[in-house]
Amino acid sequence: METVSENACFGGVQGVYSHSSKSCACDMTFGLFLPEEAQSGPVPVLWYLSGLTCTHENAMVKAGAQQWAAEQGIALIFPDTSPRGEGVADDDAYDLGQGAGFYVNATQQPWAPHFQMWDYVAEELPALVFKEFSLEPELQAITGHSMGGHGALTLAMGLPGRFKSVSAFSPISNPTKGDWGRKQLSAYLGEDESKWAAHDATLMMQEHGFAGPVLTDTGTKDQFVDLLMPDSLAQACAARRQVSTLRMQPGYDHSYFFVSTFMEDHVAFHAEALYGG
């Protein structure tokens, strides 16, 4: 692991680090905010998964999460959204290939050699950060935006017992039924739709739900709301009687202005689960 940068931030340190990834067969970069409390011992962790076209940097710079995480004594991890570099498959479209890993393990060519993002976020990166930094593996929560909201929800439900809580901003909620999902899942996983179900938050909620609390926010003026399908997740949560708060925020769109507006709420939501759940 190499240190790309480290900056003082709200009493703690915002770092950027790179490492050679076995899962993705390329170098990967991630951001990590450590609050001041990490100097004295392991701290809880909130994972933030970003959306289409993003790198580790977008949320790290634009989401405004460090201020609220510092107040709660929580670390933030910002993984990249896909493998990158020479020799890594890509596509001319913004919503496939580099910047659009969709947090799945690709089985199809040309994606399979590098696009193993589920294993990277679920196994490889956690093993690295818990070894190298003062973090508490028993106290983890996860959030994300758009494609990252999809990833947060599916990882939370797909890894029972790992996360105390899950939240999402504008999550892609029912990808097996929408254009943001069917295109990527067929490209990465093939045409057998039975293999897609483990990466659809609505279907996973219907099947087994989540053991902790769920929070989502979506803007009523989100330009992609028809692709996100928040109503499908809401219906699944209601049918399952899932402990959840699924909010539609009047006037907000899909941007980081929206994310940063409600970031304090999300960090506080996770802090309650991490410290008191």
Q: Which of 56, 145, 150, 254 is catalytic?
A: 254
Q: Is 146 a catalytic residue?
A: yes
pLDDT at 13: 98
- Asked whether the beta carbons of 270 and 165 are under 8 A apart, the reply is yes
- Cβ count near 125 (within 10 Å): 22
Q: Is 222 a catalytic residue?
A: yes
Q: Which two tokens stand for residue 86?
A: 């020479």
Distance CA 158, CA 273 (A): 19
Q: Which of 146, 165, 167, 173 is catalytic?
A: 146
Regions of the chain short of the pLDDT cut 50: none
Secondary structure of the chain as H, E, C letters: CEEEEEEEECCEEEEEEEEEECCCCEEEEEEEEECHHHHCCCEEEEEEECCCCCCCHHHHHHCCHHHHHHHHCCEEEECCCCCCCCCCCCCCCCCCECCECCCCECCCCCCCCCCEHHHHHHHHHHHHHHHHCCEEEEEEEEEEECHHHHHHHHHHHHCCCCCCCEEEECCCCCHHHCHHHHHHHHHHHCCCHHHCHHHCHHHHHHHCCCCCCEEEEEECCCCCHHHHCHHHHHHHHHHHCCCEEEEEECCCCCCHHHHHHHHHHHHHHHHHHHHHC
pLDDT at 277: 55
**Rg of the Cα trace of the chain?**
17
Distance CA 189, CA 131 (A): 31
pLDDT at 276: 87
Q: Is 254 a catalytic residue?
A: yes
Residue 204 φ/ψ, nearest 5 degrees: -70, -35
pTM for this prediction:
0.97
Q: Which of 165, 170, 222, 244 is catalytic?
A: 222
